[in-house]
Amino acid sequence: MRRDSVVGGLLVLVCGLQACQMDAPQEGVSDAELCTFRASARVEQILAGMTLEDKVGEMTQMTLDVLCVGENHKAEEPHRIDSVRLDSAFAISKIGSVLNSAGHSYPTEQWRALIGEIQAASMEAKGIPTLYGIDAIHGATYTYGAALGPQQLALAATWDTALVRVMAEGTAKEIVACGIPWNFAPVLDVGRDPRWPRFWETFGEDPKLVGDMGEAMVRGFQEGEVKVAATLKHYLGYSTPWSGKDRTPAYIPERQLRDIFLPPFAQAVRAGALSVMVNSGEMNGIPTHANRFVLTDLLRGELGFDGVAVTDWEDIRYLKSRHKVAATHKDAIRMAILAGIDMSMVPQDWEFPVLLKELVEEGAIAEARIDLSVRRILTLKERLGLLDQGGEALPAMLTDSERLALEAAPAQAAMECITLLKNEHDVLPIASSANVFVSGPTANSLNALNGGWSGTWQGKNPKYNNPGRKTAVEALRDEFGRSRVQFEELESMDFNDQDIRRVASALRRSRPDVALLFLGEMPYTEFMGNIGDLRLADNQLDLVRAVRETGTPVVAVFVEGRPRTFSQVESDLDGVVMAYLAGDFAGPAIAKVLSGSHNPSGKLPFSWPREASSHTTYDRKHTEKHYSARPQYAFGSGLSYSPVQTTALRLLNEGNVVLGDTLRIEVDLANTGDRPTNEVVMAFVQDRVASITPSVDKLKAYKRVLVDAGATMTVPLRVPTAELGFIGTDLDYVVEPGTFGLRVQQQTLEFELN
Ligand code: GLC
């Protein structure tokens, strides 16, 4: 797996930084690492004044629970700081970072009180402010009353990177007002396996879309009016465990790793991402937290990342207790630090700094290696302005109007992501005069609409739902009028045949014009969402059948973070809508799409499997053409109420295309309906013959455009020929001359690349 990093060697030759004046390479500190790092004079000065305890403490991150009043890491309500624990954490353990809430969301004021105490203790004990991190992955998830937007998979369905950036800017404002400058987002794992319980935390299955969305989110966090540090996670190879279950082994050959999974991280590093969080799992038998090739040779030597690499939750200790690659916790620490870890998200015991100090004193780890990580951590704090503020000064709170203004982007994203996948007999949109019957287990739950990381880790507790948000059925009542919406509740996912009969009887009595069934899943994240079968729950399949038997037109609305298969009843459905986990504003968005107030524009960022056990991604190989490889709904699919046809495709490059040229593409569109339509024009390329088996399709460009009712328009797209390549047998990126196909919808052409 290991490749000598040419880049690392070159760096040794070209750089003359102070850190390079090492007499001999130190254990675990490559010249490439030392030479690529530039610390400011201020950071060097702080470092020079630090003891070894200070340094190993700076590399220690603890969770808020352990600083609060309470027992066994269960904070006592109301969550408040335990002054003895606080003092011990900073005066004795000298920790450098704190993360998380102590179990649920807090109002901004409570955050500011908690973090104000913490910063004062850190300044008192160390003269260095602590770095506070949080998972604000779809808005400020742990700030009560904040604007929760769509989860990443839904954001990807908007294909609107500009909107994603604006939403991230808003999240930055909300968490900074709490005193939190470090956000553990975006997830850049490529979602290739819909069984994986964190599929909805990804931007979907295509590396280009994932990379573009990730870059937009990083820039939104780091370049907006208010800045926070982004965290690229979970580096690397986390999203395709062989079993589909979270944190189980992945087997990813280096060629695929470089071709599919690495590019989004590389793109985000180029965009200036300030931190990376490491994958808790293992690849090819090597836990990523102990994988020096991934954490140093690739991340530092090839990607040139100079930010902070933080572990995921307790993952150094897990090298011993889960992965069994270390006989002791101390050896696990040695392995992880020498692999390239800068900060340990310990986060609930006090051994890490003590054992790390011993390792340095025993010569198992060079102090120069510790200095390298401390430089990176202090530089991160410096880049966030923490060293200027002195830590105590918390940024200004948001006014009510400022906070209200932050709802616009997530609400717009919720509207843009809803994806219409089937619309037989124009069952949709529903006429305003229609009588609507609503049922299904996700019809009346804000928690279902938000998913995990919403108020609490698993997102299940309605107590921490933000006030004033509407469930789907509440929003439908607003949209159609209460008298026109009959709701037959199914309060649990485990509803039974008797419940189904009750729903069918109620439907027959109400004789509606259409039945809406809200299906899918209730919230989960990580291993809590592991499943044994991607097929939709049997009771939901039975519910569809029972409603179909009444003869009422029926529309399924999926509220879920992954495409559960339902081919057994797909033909029973007149309409299918994917609502993903679209956040606090999903209810009104769904209602407006169903009523036609909003013309749906979402496009699937993944391939919806037809059968649970025969999933392929859209960029499958030519040998994967068996019937079952055909998805239920294709990557990029999504209908509107006013269809846009692709009427022509042109390549403007004269004659043969030469490597180094840019493909100049023109696509003609015609909106044949009576409404303006937001369309996403997607250009796919097919390499006809290549030295690695080519994919049947590869997304190379896309653009969102608004096509007015009845209008035609020409859309220009550009594809640099340098992007027509792939990782070859020698593990290097290569573009091979030859014949290529170009496709936009059903329009195709061919060109020669010389
Ligand atoms: C979790 C997740 C990670 C998150 C971290 C801190 O285990 O894997 O995505 O950022 O812990 O909450």
Which residue lies with its CA nearest to atom 7 of ligand 1? 313
Cα(99)–Cα(77) distance, rounded to whole angstroms?
18
Which residue lies with its CA nearest to atom 11 of ligand 1? 313
User: CB count, 10 Å around CB of 17?
Assistant: 13
pLDDT, tens digit, 9 for 90 and up, residues 33-70: 555 577 999 999 999 999 999 999 999 999 999 999 99
Number of the ligand 1 atom closest to the C-alpha atom of 277 = 10
Q: State residue 533's pLDDT score.
A: 97
CA distances from 748 to 230, 410, 492, 665, 742 (A): 39, 36, 48, 12, 6
Number of the ligand 1 atom closest to the C-alpha atom of 526 = 8
Provide CB contacts within 8 A for 318, sequence distance 6+. 280, 287, 289
For domain 644-753, give the CATH superfamily.
Immunoglobulins (2.60.40.10)
Cα(313) to centroid of ligand 1, in Å? 6
Cα(219)–Cα(225) distance, rounded to whole angstroms?
11
Instruction: Fill in the DSSP letter of residue 302.
Output: I
Q: State residue 733's pLDDT score.
A: 98
Give the three-state DSSP class for 608. Answer: strand
Q: State residue 65's pLDDT score.
A: 96
Which residue lies with its CA nearest to atom 3 of ligand 1? 312
Number of the ligand 1 atom closest to the C-alpha atom of 234 = 9
Residue 471, token pair as written in the block = 């469930």
Closest CA to 107 of 163, 44, 177, 171: 177
Instruction: Fill in the DSSP letter of residue 262.
Output: H
Cα(727) to centroid of ligand 1, in Å? 30
Which residue lies with its CA nearest to atom 10 of ligand 1? 184
Which residue lies with its CA nearest to atom 1 of ligand 1? 313
Helix segments in 280-429, DSSP class H: 292, 317-321, 329-339, 351-361, 367-383, 386-389, 400-405, 408-417
Cα(663) to centroid of ligand 1, in Å? 41
Cα(564) to centroid of ligand 1, in Å? 24
Cα(378)–Cα(265) distance, rounded to whole angstroms?
23
Number of the ligand 1 atom closest to the C-alpha atom of 201 = 9
Number of the ligand 1 atom closest to the C-alpha atom of 457 = 12
On the question of a cis peptide bond just before residue 78, with omega within 30 degrees of 0, the verdict is yes
Number of the ligand 1 atom closest to the C-alpha atom of 185 = 10
- Pairing relation of β-strands 738-744 and 747-753? antiparallel
Q: For domain 3-11+53-389, is the CATH number 3.20.20.300?
A: yes
Query: Nearest 5°: CA angle at 641, between 639 and 647?
Result: 65
Q: State residue 391's pLDDT score.
A: 56
In this structure, are residues 642 and 674 in contact, taking their beta carbons and an 8 Å threshold? yes
Q: Please spell the DSSP secondary structure of 174-243, one letter per residue.
A: HHHHTT--EE---B------TTSTTGGGS--S-HHHHHHHHHHHHHHHHHSSS--B-EEEEETT-S--TT
Provide CB contacts within 8 A for 415, sequence distance 6+. 585, 589, 592, 593, 598
Closest CA to 669 of 625, 702, 636, 710: 710
Cα(535) to centroid of ligand 1, in Å? 27
Our mutation pick for probing the ligand 1 site, out of 152, 199, 312, 317, counting the most ligand atoms within 8 A of Cβ, is 312
In this structure, are residues 523 and 450 in contact, taking their beta carbons and an 8 Å threshold? yes
Our mutation pick for probing the ligand 1 site, out of 277, 280, 458, counting the most ligand atoms within 8 A of Cβ, is 277
Instruction: Fill in the DSSP letter of residue 280.
Output: S
Cα(187) to centroid of ligand 1, in Å? 10
Instruction: Fill in the DSSP letter of residue 394.
Output: P
Residue 220, token pair as written in the block = 């939104």
Dihedral Cα 725, 729, 731, 735, nearest 10 deg: -20
User: CB count, 10 Å around CB of 461?
Assistant: 16
Cα(370)–Cα(316) distance, rounded to whole angstroms?
16
Q: State residue 38's pLDDT score.
A: 73
Cβ < 6 A, ligand 1 pocket: 99-100, 135, 184, 233, 277, 312-313
**E strands, 24-109, in order:** 60-63, 70-71, 74-75, 97-99
Cα(577)–Cα(583) distance, rounded to whole angstroms?
16
Number of the ligand 1 atom closest to the C-alpha atom of 187 = 9
Cα(628) to centroid of ligand 1, in Å? 35
In this structure, are residues 178 and 143 in contact, taking their beta carbons and an 8 Å threshold? yes
Cα(605) to centroid of ligand 1, in Å? 23
Our mutation pick for probing the ligand 1 site, out of 131, 279, 313, counting the most ligand atoms within 8 A of Cβ, is 313
In this structure, are residues 685 and 740 in contact, taking their beta carbons and an 8 Å threshold? yes
| Strand ordering across the sheet containing 308-310 | 231-235, 275-278, 308-310
Our mutation pick for probing the ligand 1 site, out of 135, 346, 454, counting the most ligand atoms within 8 A of Cβ, is 135
Query: Which residues are designated catalytic?
Result: 312
- Exposed, middle or buried, 84 (CB in 10 Å: 0-12/13-18/19+)? exposed
Ranges of the chain whose pLDDT falls below 70: 1-36, 389-392, 627-629
Number of the ligand 1 atom closest to the C-alpha atom of 133 = 6
Name the segment(s) of the chain with CATH classification 3.20.20.300: 3-11+53-389
Name the segment(s) of the chain with CATH classification 2.60.40.10: 644-753
Closest CA to 381 of 721, 652, 42: 42
Q: For domain 418-625, is the CATH number 3.40.50.1700?
A: yes
Name the segment(s) of the chain with CATH classification 3.40.50.1700: 418-625
Cα(238) to centroid of ligand 1, in Å? 12
Cα(312) to centroid of ligand 1, in Å? 6
Cα(189) to centroid of ligand 1, in Å? 13
pTM as predicted: 0.95
